[in-house]
């Protein structure tokens, strides 16, 4: 099986595991993420607006926004890195690409911490995303400028063994689930 087929099979299994975990989520899944971010008060960070069955980082982002700048990703074009626009819990949003909400007013900045959504993760820091390469290009660009902490946020059920990864895949520095923190 070639790499592309392996990735497609891994994504299919991971989407099913994520949906099952999401269906059982009683809320409060971002508690562990909040505790991790508490150690980085005031450090510029980026989260994401959850879509479909992604685990919800918004409560942790709202808490962090009380102490420093928080942004969400904005897709400007296919094949390009993401840009990050300042987000506040009460800020006005508009529809962005792929159904994710983005701020009405763009106020771009480069975060030092990026909370990364994902489809599957490995304990070694490997991450399987949706396949567009947005976060890989973005983390590569940010890390070329300065140290950038990439925190994968996912349900524990999204852990996978033997992820099909490529040389261009950017590793996660931490993985935070609803239950624990994993340090690769």
Q: What mean pLDDT, rounded, does the chain reach?
A: 94
pLDDT of residue 145: 96
- Find out whether 113 and 45 touch, Cβ atoms under 8 Å: yes
User: pLDDT band for position 172 (50/70/90)?
Assistant: very high
Instruction: Give the model confidence (pLDDT) of 65-94 as tens digits.
Output: 999 999 999 998 888 999 999 999 999 999
Query: What is the mean pLDDT of the segment spanning 144-159?
Result: 97
The pLDDT value recorded for residue 26 is: 85
Count of residues making up the chain: 184
pLDDT digits (tens, 9 = 90+) for 7-42: 999 999 999 999 999 999 888 899 999 999 999 999
Count of helices and strands (H, E) across the chain: 4, 11
- For residue 12, the number of C-alpha atoms closer than 13 Å in the C-beta half-sphere is 6
Q: What is the pLDDT of residue 39?
A: 96
104 Cβ contact list (under 8 Å, min separation 6): 91, 92, 93, 94
**pLDDT (0 to 100) of residue 181:** 98
- Each residue of 170-181: b (16+ CB within 10 Å) or e? bebbbbbbbeee
- pTM score of the predicted model: 0.94
Sketch the domain layout of the chain as residue ranges. Answer: 3-107+120-152
Q: Which CATH superfamily is domain 3-107+120-152 in?
A: NagB/RpiA/CoA transferase-like (3.40.50.10420)
Which residue did the predictor score with more confidence, 100 or 140? 140
pLDDT higher than 90, residue 1: no
């Amino acid at each position: 099986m070639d790499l592309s087929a392996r990735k497609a099979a891994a994504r299919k299994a991971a989407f099913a595991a994520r949906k099952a975990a999401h269906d059982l989520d009683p809320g409060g899944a971002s508690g562990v993420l909040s505790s991790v971010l508490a150690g980085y008060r005031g450090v510029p960070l980026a989260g994401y607006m959850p879509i479909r069955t992604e685990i919800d980082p918004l409560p942790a982002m709202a808490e962090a926004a009380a102490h420093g700048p928080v942004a969400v990703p904005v897709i400007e074009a296919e094949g390009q890195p993401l840009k990050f626009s300042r987000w506040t819990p009460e800020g006005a949003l508009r529809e962005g690409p792929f159904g994710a909400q983005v701020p009405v007013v763009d106020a771009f900045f480069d975060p030092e911490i990026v909370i990364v959504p994902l489809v599957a993760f490995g304990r070694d820091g490997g991450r399987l995303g949706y396949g567009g390469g947005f976060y890989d290009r973005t983390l590569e660009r940010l890390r070329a400028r300065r140290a950038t902490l990439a925190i994968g946020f996912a349900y524990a059920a999204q852990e996978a063994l033997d992820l099909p990864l490529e040389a261009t895949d950017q590793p996660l520095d931490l993985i935070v689930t609803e239950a624990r923190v994993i340090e690769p």
